[in-house]
Chain A
Amino acid sequence: SQQGEEDPQALSIQEGENATMNCSYKTSINNLQWYRQNSGRGLVHLILIRSNEREKHSGRLRVTLDTSKKSSSLLITASRAADTASYFCATALSGYSTLTFGKGTMLLVSP
């Protein structure tokens, strides 16, 4: 299966700390995306990184991609209580319009 595996499954930190989530996958990809989901609502796209990119930033988010290890990480710096959510990675294969979602990491940021 191409499904990504996030690690850890759950993460609990204090406001102001950094949160790091990892995603591993099994086959070559076109791009990898990270999404956030608040309390079982719809998903919000955070960032997309292509297979030829190694790092990407967006505000307090930093995503890295290591295609040799088939892994990606999402770093949220200076976390806030509002960052509490589930975070999913999703992989896209070349030539396909669909995404395959990982199992997600549940992040809890305490004030």
Chain B
Amino acid sequence: SAVISQKPSRDICQRGTSLTIQCQVDSQVTMMFWYRQQPGQSLTLIATANQGSEATYESGFVIDKFPISRPNLTFSTLTVSNMSPEDSSIYLCSVVTGLAGVAETQYFGPGTRLLVL
């Protein structure tokens, strides 16, 4: 298993600004994932963050809007850039501790609740 923490837990931001969300894992993991959950909706995968390589973004998400860093095997950041009210969501990071290429159990952080005014 893995224990994941996220900072900040919540924030209220003005449109046009950027927010960086941190995700810390208590063990080394190969793959980390960033999800967005809009109000009352399911989770949508933003990108997969692998250490030592560029993040892989899902359709509809671009690096300029959601730059991701993965400097080591226990840490990642997601930046939400030039925010608009439509970016108001819960942002969750997760990790999988199995082999790459096998979608086994994912462990989630507590989420960052973002409100953009």
A-to-B contact residues, CB < 8 Å: 3, 30-31, 33, 35, 40-45, 48, 88, 90, 92-93, 95-104
Contacts and interface: CB of A to CB of B under 8 A. Distances in A.
B66 interface: no
Nearest to A104: B42
Interface residues of B, number: 27
Contact of A99 (B4, B101, B103, B109): B103
B73 interface: no
B110 interface: yes
Contacts of B37: 40
Interface of B: 4, 31, 33, 37, 41-45, 48, 90, 92, 94, 96, 100-111, 113
Contacts of B106: 33, 43, 45, 90, 99
9 contacts: A31-B103, A33-B106, A41-B110, A42-B108, A42-B110, A43-B108, A45-B107, A99-B103, A99-B106
